[in-house]
């Protein structure tokens, strides 16, 4: 039986070859249920079933001689075998491409197209999606996205839809980030990522979108301003004044409202749905501040702005107070042009950084950055850095507040980023008094919640210690000490250690 099945497959391999030569639709393998029955009797399932599941569905009509050169049937079938080991995954991919069930074993190989036909077209001054000369591919399903050479028009449409969804700017990047790899490698090798193990975990995949999400040909980048609509003129001065009040708890501006992950992700998903609806089936994946993605690099290449010396993205019309998100898509879109660096000789962000975390222009040692220390870092905060943290208890905006380009920062029309009660004008003593239940309640739906109550108390204890050190007024000192003493018996050793340190600052 095993021998007859092998012969059967050999026969269909020949058919496969003929399909390519004759450009006609053929079914490679007979009805799946028949083979499955035979195989089930005589051949171990793990070896046979994934192969048969794919082969059964094969029916290909190669539409055009020129395009045929771009179709690697063998290659795609091989991939399909892998996918078939994960039936759900195969079904999902098929569904995204407009199939009712997993039928894809061969498909247009855009990676080849990008290398050959795509380059030829670019040399001729043409941009946009690849030419798809006629329909009838994919069992009659044609992905309209790939049928026209009107990439610029499509990008324009996507930008319009993005703006309607509340994004400030939509751009497109290619997937070749190879020039960023040496910098990423050096940054990781220096250990600047601290204990953010996920930064290193994905290796160079972070710089290779097509490896992170196989099939990715373009990345749609999105930017969303986040200053609340009620932000006053001269808001930087307001924030600097807060920093001068040692007993005030300072939460980074972006974290005072709703969790931006949710806000952006929902809208990126809606944008993806709209693209698929209007232009045809689309393979995609959305990211927003997701660990494996080089967001600033992609945004820079797509012309959203340039990387400032503080390593954040800067935009001439919006400064740096915005969130970024991405949609990795399996269609080739024309990239939007990059813009020039406008930092010039300025070094204000480097000079103001309280912990000297910007160790060189465009290079931040995250281990020294207050944003990292108060959010990402789980353990004790290094003793030498605690006095430098002032009254920051969640994140830090100092390098952005001082940046001259943020005079162009824009407010958001979305109410999601409006500051919530308790996160803009609270005193350190008040937020230190929050029980875990209160903490969870007041931070529900916001980004702060993910650090948990223990890290929250750790951060506030450091700020209280800093306030205590500088307090000249006896009454104030007494109030700060009283606040700290309430946590001296906290069940967390981490919290207790920071309280002891803070009380010792008197």
Which residues lie near ligand SF4 (CB under 6 A)? 308-310, 314, 343, 346-349, 353-355, 357-358, 364, 369-371, 396, 398-399, 402-405
Beta bridge partners, 284, equal 329
Question: What's the min distance (Å) between Cβ of 66 and ligand SF4?
Answer: 48
**Least CB distance from residue 337 to ligand SF4, whole Å?**
21
Q: Which is nearer to ligand SF4, 57 or 401 (CB)?
A: 401
DSSP of 293-306: --HHHHHHHTTS-E
Nearer to ligand SF4, 326 or 398 (CB): 398
- What is the smallest separation between the CB atom of 138 and ligand SF4, expressed in angstroms? 48
Phi then psi dihedrals of residue 368, to 5 deg: -105, -10
Query: Among all residues, which ones are annotated catalytic?
Result: 289
d(CA 226, CA 395): 15
- Measured from the CB atom, is 66 or 356 closer to ligand SF4? 356
Please answer whether residues 318 and 410 qualify as being in contact, where contact means their C-beta atoms are separated by less than 8 angstroms. yes
Number of alpha carbons in the 13 Å side-chain half-sphere of residue 348 = 14
* Nearer of residues 26 and 363 to ligand SF4, judged by Cβ: 363
Least separation in angstroms between CB 404 and ligand SF4: 6
Closest by CA position to 159, among listed 302, 292, 338? 302
- Apex 463 CA angle, 462 and 468, nearest 5: 100
* Dist CA 212 CA 363 (whole Å): 24
Report the run of H or E that residue 363 belongs to, with start and end.
strand 363-364
Q: What angle do CA 386, 388, 389 make, to 5 degrees?
A: 70
If the CB atoms of residues 318 and 480 are measured against ligand SF4, the closer one turns out to be 318
Helices marked H in 62-201: 65-68, 73-84, 87-96, 110-113, 119-123, 151-164, 181-189, 197-201
Min CB(323)–ligand SF4 separation in Å:
15
Q: Would the CA dihedral through 35, 6, 43, 106 be positive or negative?
A: negative
| CB nearer ligand SF4, residue 70 or residue 350 | 350
Q: Which is nearer to ligand SF4, 63 or 305 (CB)?
A: 305
Nearer to ligand SF4, 406 or 426 (CB): 406
In angstroms, the CA 194 to CA 503 distance is 28
Alpha carbons 437 and 443: distance in angstroms, whole number: 10
Least spacing, CB of residue 334 vs ligand SF4, in Å: 29
Minimum distance, C-beta of residue 384 to ligand SF4, in the bound complex (Å): 14
Residues 6+ apart with CB under 8 A from 235: 227, 409
164, 99 in Cβ contact below 8 A?
no
Q: How far is the CB of 420 from ligand SF4 (least distance, A)?
A: 21
Tell me the CA distances in angstroms from 261 to 257, 258, 418, 450, one per residue in order.
11, 9, 15, 12
The number of beta carbons lying within 10 Å of the beta carbon of residue 469 is 15
DSSP letters spanning 202-250: TGGGGG-HHHHSTT--EEEEEEEE-B-TTPPTTHHHHHHHHHT-TTB-E
């Amino acid at each position: 039986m095993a021998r007859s099945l092998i012969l059967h497959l050999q026969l269909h391999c020949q058919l496969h070859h003929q399909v390519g030569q004759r450009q006609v639709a053929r079914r490679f393998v007979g009805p799946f249920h028949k083979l499955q029955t035979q195989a089930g009797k005589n051949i171990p399932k793990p070896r046979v079933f994934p192969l048969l599941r794919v082969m059964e569905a094969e029916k290909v009509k190669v539409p055009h001689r020129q395009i045929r050169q771009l179709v690697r049937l063998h290659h795609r079938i091989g991939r399909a075998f892998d996918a078939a080991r994960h039936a759900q995954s195969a079904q999902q991919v098929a569904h995204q491409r407009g199939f009712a069930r997993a039928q894809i074993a061969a498909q247009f190989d855009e990676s080849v197209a990008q290398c050959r036909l795509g380059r030829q077209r670019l040399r001729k001054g043409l941009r946009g999606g690849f030419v798809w000369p006629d329909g009838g591919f994919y069992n009659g399903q044609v992905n309209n996205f790939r049928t026209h050479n009107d990439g610029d028009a499509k990008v324009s449409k996507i930008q319009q839809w993005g703006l309607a969804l509340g994004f400030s700017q939509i751009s497109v990047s290619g997937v070749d980030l190879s020039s960023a790899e040496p910098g990423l490698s050096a940054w990781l090798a220096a250990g600047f990522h601290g204990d953010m193990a996920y930064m290193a975990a994905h290796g160079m995949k972070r710089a290779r979108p097509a490896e992170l999400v196989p099939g990715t040909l373009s990345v749609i980048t999105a930017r969303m301003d986040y200053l609340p609509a009620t932000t006053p003129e001269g808001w930087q001065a307001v924030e600097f004044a807060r920093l001068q009040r040692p007993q005030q708890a300072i939460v980074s501006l972006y974290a005072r409202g709703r969790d931006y992950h949710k806000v952006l992700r929902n809208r990126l998903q809606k944008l993806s749905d709209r693209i698929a609806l209007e232009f045809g089936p689309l393979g995609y994946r959305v990211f927003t501040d997701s660990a494996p993605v080089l967001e600033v690099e992609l945004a820079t290449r797509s012309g959203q702005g340039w990387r400032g010396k503080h390593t954040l993205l800067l935009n001439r019309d919006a400064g740096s107070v915005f969130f970024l998100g991405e949609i990795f898509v399996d269609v080739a879109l024309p990239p939007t042009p990059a813009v020039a660096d406008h930092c010039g000789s300025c070094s204000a962000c480097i000079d103001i950084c309280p912990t000297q975390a910007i160790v060189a222009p465009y290079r931040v040692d995250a281990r020294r950055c207050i944003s990292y220390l108060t959010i990402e870092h789980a353990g004790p905060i290094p003793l030498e850095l605690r006095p430098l943290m002032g009254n920051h208890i969640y994140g830090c905006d100092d390098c952005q507040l001082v940046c001259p380009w943020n005079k162009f920062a824009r407010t958001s029309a979305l109410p999601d980023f409006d500051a919530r009660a308790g996160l803009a004008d609270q005193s350190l003593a008040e937020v230190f008094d929050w029980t875990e239940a209160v903490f969870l309640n007041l931070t529900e739906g916001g980004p702060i919640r993910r650090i948990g109550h223990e890290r929250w108390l750790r951060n506030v204890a450091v700020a209280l210690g800093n306030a205590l050190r500088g307090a000249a007024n006896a009454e104030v000192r007494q109030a700060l000490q009283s606040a700290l003493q309430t946590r001296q018996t906290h069940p967390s050793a981490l919290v207790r250690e920071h309280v002891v340190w803070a009380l010792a600052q008197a």
